[in-house]
Amino acid sequence: MNTVTTLPSLQSATNDVCREFKQLNIYTDKLEDTSVSLSYAPWNFLENGHYDPNNNSVTVPALSTSAAFGPYCSLRDVLRHEFGHALLDHSPRLISAAEWKKIFGAPRGKPSPYEYDEEDFITPYANSGATVEEDFCELLMVWVRHKGDIKRYRYSRPGVYEKLQFVASVMRRLH
């Protein structure tokens, strides 16, 4: 399945997700400066979204083929995830080196050493072989989607719950 994104749908999703970040008190000035746009670049079509730290911008492909390879991801979830990359980029010391190692198992920029299992990883993409930042961004995506209410994971997925609690504590540092 290919996913087509139109400008009005991106605008509407961006408004919704910015409102969620505001309600959670994590809509920083730098996040407000982050641009969100539709990309027509073919190299972009293979992914759901992309954050570029060089120009503080999130791009979402107008046509995405990524759903053909992985599970479908809503436009709002894509933005919640990419805003996570933006927050990490804006505050490089938001999570200490020791915390990356302790909570995510590896330094920032390195892949997780653990195999995927549902108890400890919120989504398969969180442990897709890319860096531990993906784990953080997938957790943030779910935390924002649930508006910070994560107790549903407490007993069913204790490892995930612990990491979500950490994400919540990191977000409080932004206030």
| Contact footprint for Zn ion (CB under 5 A) | 134, 137
Task: Please state, in angstroms and rounded to a whole number, the distance separating the CA atoms of residues 87 and 142.
Answer: 15
Smaller CB distance to Zn ion: residue 103 or 137? 137
Smaller CB distance to Zn ion: residue 26 or 78? 78
Smaller CB distance to Zn ion: residue 124 or 158? 124
- Shortest distance, position 47 Cβ to Zn ion, whole Å: 9
With a CB cutoff of 8 Å and minimum separation 6, the contacts of 131 are: 106, 108, 109, 110, 111
- Shortest distance, position 57 Cβ to Zn ion, whole Å: 14
State the residue for tokens 């933005």: 79
- Shortest distance, position 85 Cβ to Zn ion, whole Å: 6
- Shortest distance, position 155 Cβ to Zn ion, whole Å: 28
Alpha-carbon dihedral 174, 22, 50, 118, rounded to 10 degrees: 80
Token duo for residue 111: 């892949």
Smaller CB distance to Zn ion: residue 74 or 156? 74
Q: Within 10 Å of residue 42's Cβ, how many Cβ atoms?
A: 10
